[in-house]
Amino acid sequence: MMQMKALLYYRSKLDAHDQSVYDSLVSQWMHFESHIHLPVSHCNLSEIAQAIHFDYPLLFYVNYYQIAYSKSIFGMNIRGDYLYTKSEAETLLQKCEDWGKYIYSHTPSNLGIAEKALWLHDVILNNVRYGDANGIRAHNLVGVVQDGIAVCEGISMAYKFLCDYSNIPCIYVSGTLNGSPHGWNLVWINQEASFVDVTNDISSFSGKFGRHNFLKKSSEMAGYSWDLEAIPECRLTKKKNLDLTAYFKKGWFG
């Protein structure tokens, strides 16, 4: 699996005990282990699994929706449950890695970090439709890379993946929009946090097409709600007018 400088934000929110469980699960899920033993008597497994899910877009093949486990005097035993066979997942992983490398290699070299974050936003904006006709893939990176169709979770995971690849600090944010479950991103530009909602800029979702939801302050997120304790406030004092129309690309996945 490709190694990149990913921001493991949700790992940092766990205590040392749960971080060790997190690391063990990541390692074993990366190797498609079917029987996972954790030599611990307790842990907050659901919180740890969610942290991994949010931190690692490339672990899309793990079935986070149903994690079966049992306990014994020797620790916890978790059944490795995957959405794809190992062969299928490895093929999809290669597609995702090739996609990331292609985008990275074609990113204009003269862009600053804010411009680069916008350029990656535009790559997805111009090549993805909002929808869930592709089932579970719509909720992860594969929906964007293979199908060009995804819902907010898949779109936001793809944006984090591209930001990770480009060394732009970025996290996935889970919350609600107008009372319905929704996912988007938070990025740090020159150490200032701001929100990015690529999904809400895709016309098939919002009826609008553009950059209305790029680098937003917390105070500008009308209708949104999120965990205020887990997610830092976005105050953004240095936003500048960005115009990268010349970098718009069509048919990026061709």
- Percent pLDDT > 90 in the chain is 74
Answer yes or no: is 61 within a domain. Answer: yes
Domains: count for the chain: 2
Mean pLDDT on 232-249: 64
Indicate whether 31 and 56 sit together in one domain.
Answer: yes
Q: Domain with 131 in it: what CATH number? A: 3.10.620.30
Distance CA 235, CA 230 (A): 16
**Average pLDDT score, the chain:** 90
Say which residues have a Cβ less than 8 Å from residue 244's Cβ, sequence separation at least 6: 115, 118, 119, 122
- Asked whether residue 194 is domain-assigned, the answer is yes
Domain span at 58: 9-79
Report the C-alpha gap between 128 and 181 in whole angstroms. Answer: 20
Q: Using the predicted structure, report yes or no on whether residue 2 has a pLDDT greater than 60.
A: no
Q: Residue 1: inside a domain, yes or no?
A: no
Q: Are residues 70 and 138 in the same domain?
A: no
At 95, phi and psi to the nearest 5? -60, -45
Question: Which of these three, 48, 79, 110, is where a domain ends?
Answer: 79
Specify if 4 maps to a domain: no
Contact call for residues 19 and 55 (beta carbons, < 8 A): no
Whether residues 118 and 172 fall in one domain: yes
Residues 50 and 128 in one domain: no
Contact 55, 14 (CB under 8 A): no
Please write the tens of the pLDDT for every residue from 34-51: 999 999 988 899 999 999
